[in-house]
Amino acid sequence: MKEFLEQRRWRWREEESADAFLPGEIRLTLAGSRRLLVENFKGIVYFDESVVIVQSKKQTAAIGGRKLQIEYYAKDEMLVVGSIEKIEVKESGA
Amino acid sequence: MSIFLSLFGSVKVNLTGKEISRFLRLCSTYRIFLFDISSEGADEISFFMSARDVFRLRPVLRKTGCRLRICQRRGAPFFFLRYRWKIAFRGSILCAFLLFWYLTGFIWSVHLSGNSYLTEEYMRAFLEERQAYIGCRAGRIDTVALEEQILEAFPEVIWTSVYIKGTSLHITLKEQIRLAEEQEERPGVQDLIAPADGKVAEIFVRSGTAAVAQGDEVKKGDVLIHGWVPVYDDMETLVKHYDPVAADGDVLIERRQPYREQLDAAYQKKQWTETLRYVTFETAGVNADLIRYFLPDEKRVVFCETRPLRLFHSIVLPLTQNRYEARLYRLKPQTYSRSEAEEILLRRYRQFAKKIGKKGVQITDKNVIILRKGNVYSMEGDVLLRYPAKELRAGTVPDVE
């Protein structure tokens, strides 16, 4: 069982590293419910305390929560902090 | 980042306008770094940014039509600007400069170079006796007198230079090479003796008389080459005296020796869990060992890098910076595989060969195998060693009838 889990974990990691930067797709890394790292995005569509909407070439992601704040905003990534309750990703065309 | 911002200053900005998302996008295009962005209501946000970047915002503001208001200023430039007219502030800067000027009149480090026979501790004790220690006034040190005292006290020192640079005392020495002592000639009969039990594999005499022949068995301490030469007259008869010499020659003693090395298959492997880094400051010369108060109670290896704090390279401040790196680990029971054990045992064998090789002993033949007995790997067998004879011993000239 342990070996099986280990194998799966490795396979997942390999897949993750292979697909790390698919062009046009937003990469979201959530740490608990307090911090969310957003990468591979084009810009912010809307931003207030309860929702942050970010857009990439192909997708739009809406991050819902309370007391949301952007800890930093750089060209390649931004870090959203606060109480994150919901993440919704949609294809931009949909 | 926070040090950079404290040094160059940061500002909190309130931004209002219709095109905030475009503003943020343009900021990232212009590589203007924003942080702690929070929404202040509809079409209004506040964020922090570096004070230097405020002027770079002008084209972005023009394009987006946003309005900017600076609410808060933080960091060193604003601090100095705010308190520039306060007497206490100016007084404290003056005090700091005076204190700095006063402290630069002392010696805060001693650099010693060129010494090989004289140990650093011994030299430091000598210098302390002559009132040249860490914390003494630089003006009190008479460098010329100190040079003379060093030359007088240590006959092996042939040249010295003492000078003060900033707050450091530099001492450079040149010592006499003790060639005479190393190549001491011993008078009288000197026999070359066997370094170990074994068989004479090779013998070549340069000076003296061979006492053994190739293939002879010898014991440790037996004479191999006598330190005398018989003197014959024209009739090939031995004259009644021998010339004493220091025996010299190449003699190799061959000996088969058992070799045995064991390795437990079970071992405790270190699993590095975490690396902690600390920086502590200490007053020069005082070792407070502060790190033990910070480290968690776990197995660890601690590396420490100590360096005195300097100003303008030559002025050493009476503070040392210790950078600690503590690597925590857990021990996990593991077992060596056959190949790992073979590798370790072979490495040990190579170390053994290197160690005896430094003494001039060569391994000419080896007959060792690696076995596993229960939970123990062992390398067993024997090695054929060749010892060179180097040791001389005072001997006597035999009487001639």
Is the per-residue pLDDT at A34 higher than 60? Answer: yes
Q: What is the pLDDT, as a whole number, of residue A4?
A: 64
Higher pLDDT, B39 or A6: B39
pLDDT band at B96 (very low <50, low <70, confident <90, very high): very high
CB B36 to CB A43 under 8 A? Answer: no
> pLDDT-derived band of residue B179, with 50, 70 and 90 as boundaries?
very low
In this complex, which of A45, A68, A69 lies closest to B21 when CB atoms are compared?
A: A45
Q: Name the residue with higher pLDDT: B234 or B78.
A: B78
Residue of B nearest to A70 (CA): B37
What pLDDT is recorded for position B69?
92
pLDDT of A88 over the 60 cut: yes
Q: Is residue A3 pLDDT above 90, yes or no?
A: no
CATH number of B109-179: 3.10.20.310
Smallest Cβ–Cβ distance between B37 and the set A43, A73, A75 belongs to A73
Tell whether the model's pLDDT for residue B391 goes beyond 70: yes
Task: For residue B181, count other CB atoms closer than 10 A to its CB.
Answer: 8
CB contact under 8 A, A72 and B31: no
Residues of B in contact with A48 (CB under 8 A): 39, 41-42
Residue B161 scores a pLDDT above 50: yes
Q: Do B33 and A68 touch (CB under 8 A)?
A: no
Please list every residue in chain B whose beta carbon sits closer than 8 Å to the beta carbon of residue A49. 38-39
Minimum distance, in Å, between the CA of residue B5 and any CA atom of chain A: 14
First to last CA, chain A: 41
A-B C-beta contacts closer than 8 Å: 54
Please tell me which residue of chain B has the smallest CA distance to A47: B39
What pLDDT score does B154 carry? 86
**B166 vs A21 pLDDT, higher one:** B166
The yes-or-no verdict on residue B122 having pLDDT over 70 is yes
pLDDT for res A86:
93
**Residue B184 pLDDT class (50, 70, 90 cuts):** low
Instruction: Quick: pLDDT tens for B246-299.
Output: 888 888 999 888 999 899 989 888 888 888 888 888 775 566 666 667 777 778
The DSSP bridge partners found for residue B46 are: B14, B38
Q: What is the mean pLDDT of residues B76-92?
A: 89
For residue B31, the chain A residues in CB contact (below 8 A) are: 75
A92 touches B: beta carbon within 8 Å: no
The pLDDT value recorded for residue B211 is: 86
Contact criterion met (CB below 8 Å) for B135 and B107? yes
- A77 to chain B: which residues are within 8 Å by CB? none
What integer pLDDT is reported at residue B110 of this predicted model?
Answer: 85
User: For residue B247, what are its two tokens?
Assistant: 């025996």
CATH topology for the A23-91 domain: Immunoglobulin-like (2.60.40)
With a pLDDT cut of 70, the percent of chain A lying above it is: 74
Instruction: Calculate how close chain B gets to A53, using CA atoms only, in Å.
Output: 10
HEC readout, chain B: CHHHHHHHCEEEEEEECCCHHHHHHHHHHCCCCEEEEEECCCCEEEEEEEHHHHHHHHHHHHHHCCEEEEEEEECHHHHHHHCCCCHHHHHHHHHHHHHHHHHCCECCEEEEECCCCCCHHHHHHHHHHCCCCCCCEHHHCCHHHHHHHHHHHCCCEEEEEEEEECCEEEEEEEECCCHHHHCCCCCCCEEEECCCCEEEEEEEEEECEECCCCCCEECCCCEEEECEEEEECCCCCEEEEEEECECEEEEEEEEEEEEEEEEECEEEEEEEEEEEEEEEEEECCCCCCHHHHCCCCCCEEEEEEEEEEEECCCEEEEEEEEEEEEEEEEEEEEECCHHHHHHHHHHHHHHHHHHHHHCCCEEEEEEEEEEEECCEEEEEEEEEEEEECCCEEECCCCCCC
A89 Cβ under 8 Å from any chain B Cβ: no
* Closest Cα in chain A to B45: A48
How far apart are alpha carbons A1 and B390 in whole angstroms?
Answer: 66
pLDDT at B180: 45
Which residues of chain A lie closer than 8 angstroms to B27, CB-CB? 73
Is the pLDDT at B11 greater than 90, yes or no? yes
The predicted structure's pLDDT at residue B47: 92
| Mean pLDDT, rounded, of chain B | 85
Confidence of residue B351 (pLDDT cuts 50, 70, 90): very high
Which residue from A43, A49, A72 is facing B34, i.e. has the nearest CB? A72
- Asked if residue B187 has pLDDT above 70, the reply is no
Mean pLDDT on B89-109: 89
Structural contact between residues B31 and A75, judged by C-beta atoms closer than 8 angstroms:
yes
Q: How many Å lie between the alpha carbon of B113 and the closest alpha carbon of chain A?
A: 51
Which residue is closest to B39 within chain A, CA to CA? A48
A45 neighbourhood in chain B, CB within 8 Å? 21
**Chain B nearest-CA residue for A49:** B39
B42/A68 CB distance under 8 A = no
- Domain boundaries defined on chain B: 2-80, 109-179, 190-250, 259-266+336-388, 269-332
Interface of B with A (CB under 8 A): 20-22, 24-25, 27-29, 31, 33-39, 41-42, 45, 47
Distance from CA of B332 to the nearest CA of A (A): 18
Best residue of B5, B18, B23, B35 to probe chain A, by most A CBs closer than 10 Å: B35
Residue A71 has its nearest CB partner, among B24, B36, B45, at B36
Statement: residue B370 has pLDDT above 80: yes
Strand pairing report for A59-73 and B34-39:
antiparallel
Closest-CA distance, B52 to chain A, in angstroms, reads 17
ipTM: 0.72
Residue B103 predicted with pLDDT over 90: no
Question: How confident is the model over B228-253, as a mean pLDDT?
Answer: 78
**B2-80 is a CATH 3.30.70.1230 domain:** no
For testing the chain B interface, which of A38, A52, A73 should be mutated: the one with the most B CBs within 10 Å? A73
